[in-house]
């Protein structure tokens, strides 16, 4: 909670742009926290949603929303907001733990397709930090790279030139790696289109037509990947690789 309050204070200028019912986002968050502590989970969710609607986003805020919906036994909304929080902070242990708990309570238990070991390893590295953190580290390492390169060129002492050369090489490699992870994380976040099923039970179709062949059934809370869209229908893929079509009104995009 302390981190969220700090972020809200830093973003205080947004208050002038995003007036939320005449109240400051920080006050709404505090009211939401108080309502949550008092067991008023519906009120807490409503207050947190007002902050979201103002344009503010933070993993802690989405996490609090997920917790509120989880307490209300609204698993689709809980999973939706946990997933949105994970997008912003993929390595957060609390978010991942609560998301796993929520997923364990839904009806569909789908075994995901196994990934090659190097893909799992690379994704694990990229998800160690949020995209913004990787970007900050890139800038940090670039500054040190330029500093040591400058030392190499302006120094007249051999030991300082060697230090500048090898340290410059090291920080240049670190800059390239963090830049790669930052770009990969950003592309993954922007190109991965996922949604949560909100209908209690829905049949996945073979084509974007209600009269088409039934393929399999999904239940509320299941996450699907969005592949294509025709009219109001989405082509979706589930974790085990099965593909079919669902109407858009049954889904909420992450």
Distances (CA, A) of 68 to 41, 42, 94, 137: 5, 7, 14, 34
Average predicted confidence (pLDDT) for the chain: 88
Mean pLDDT to the nearest integer, 75-96: 94
Kindly state whether residue 12 falls inside one of the protein's structural domains: yes
Question: What is the DSSP secondary structure assignment for residue 23, as one 8-state letter?
Answer: B
Domain count, the chain: 3
Judged against a pLDDT cut of 70, whether residue 3 lies above it is answered with: no
- pLDDT at res. 127: 83
Do 186 and 225 sit in the same domain of this protein? Answer: no
Do 245 and 216 sit in the same domain of this protein? Answer: yes
Do 151 and 223 sit in the same domain of this protein? Answer: no
Output the DSSP codes for 104-168: HTSS---PPPPPPHHHHHHHHHHTTS-HHHHHHHHHHHHHHHHHHHHHHHH--SHHHHHHHHHHH
Q: What is the pLDDT of residues 94-142, one digit of tens each?
A: 999 999 999 999 988 888 877 778 788 888 888 888 888 999 999 999 9
d(CA 102, CA 65): 13
- pLDDT at res. 8: 41
**Worst-scoring range by mean pLDDT, 12-21, 61-70, 100-109, 175-184?**
12-21
Q: State the pLDDT confidence band at 162, using cuts at 50, 70 and 90.
A: very high
Helix (H) or strand (E) holding 32, with range, is helix 25-37
Longest dimension (CA), the chain: 81
Do 153 and 211 sit in the same domain of this protein? Answer: no
Helix (H) or strand (E) holding 25, with range, is helix 25-37
Do 14 and 80 sit in the same domain of this protein? Answer: yes
- pLDDT at res. 23: 55
Which residue range is the domain that position 226 belongs to? Answer: 194-253
Judged against a pLDDT cut of 70, whether residue 1 lies above it is answered with: no
CATH number, domain of 220, equals 2.30.30.40
Do 152 and 81 sit in the same domain of this protein? Answer: no
142: Cα within 13 Å, side-chain hemisphere: 10
- pLDDT at res. 2: 45
Q: Which of 13-17, 67-71, 228-232 has the highest mean pLDDT?
A: 67-71
Helices and strands counted in the chain (H then E) = 10, 7
Q: State the pLDDT confidence band at 18, using cuts at 50, 70 and 90.
A: very low
Q: What is the pLDDT of residues 186-200, one digit of tens each?
A: 887 777 799 999 999
Kindly state whether residue 111 falls inside one of the protein's structural domains: no
Kindly state whether residue 112 falls inside one of the protein's structural domains: no
Kindly state whether residue 109 falls inside one of the protein's structural domains: no
Mean pLDDT to the nearest integer, 176-183: 94
Beta bridge pairs of residue 226: 236
Do 215 and 152 sit in the same domain of this protein? Answer: no
């Amino acid at each position: 909670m302390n981190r969220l309050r700090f972020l809200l204070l830093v973003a205080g200028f947004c208050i002038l742009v995003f007036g939320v019912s005449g109240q400051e986002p920080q006050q709404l968050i505090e009211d939401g926290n108080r309502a949550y502590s008092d067991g008023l989970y519906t009120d807490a969710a409503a207050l947190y949603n007002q902050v979201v609607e103002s344009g503010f986003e933070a993993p802690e805020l989405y996490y609090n929303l997920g917790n509120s919906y989880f307490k209300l036994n609204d698993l689709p909304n809980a999973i939706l907001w946990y997933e949105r929080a994970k997008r912003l902070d993929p390595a957060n242990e609390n978010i991942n733990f609560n998301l796993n708990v929520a997923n364990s309570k839904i009806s569909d238990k789908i075994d995901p397709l196994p990934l090659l070991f190097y893909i799992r390893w690379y994704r694990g590295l990229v998800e160690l930090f949020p995209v913004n953190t990787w970007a900050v580290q890139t800038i940090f390492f670039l500054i040190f790279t330029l500093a040591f390169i400058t030392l190499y060129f302006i120094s007249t002492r051999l030991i300082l030139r060697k230090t500048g050369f090898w340290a410059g090489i090291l920080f240049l490699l670190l800059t390239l790696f963090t830049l790669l992870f930052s770009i990969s994380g950003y592309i993954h976040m922007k190109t991965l289109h996922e949604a949560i099923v909100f209908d209690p039970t829905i049949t996945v179709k073979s084509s974007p037509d209600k009269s088409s062949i039934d393929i399999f059934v999904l239940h509320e809370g299941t996450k699907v990947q969005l592949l294509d869209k025709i009219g109001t229908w989405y082509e979706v893929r589930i974790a085990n690789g099965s593909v079919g079509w669902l109407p858009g009104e049954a889904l909420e995009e992450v």
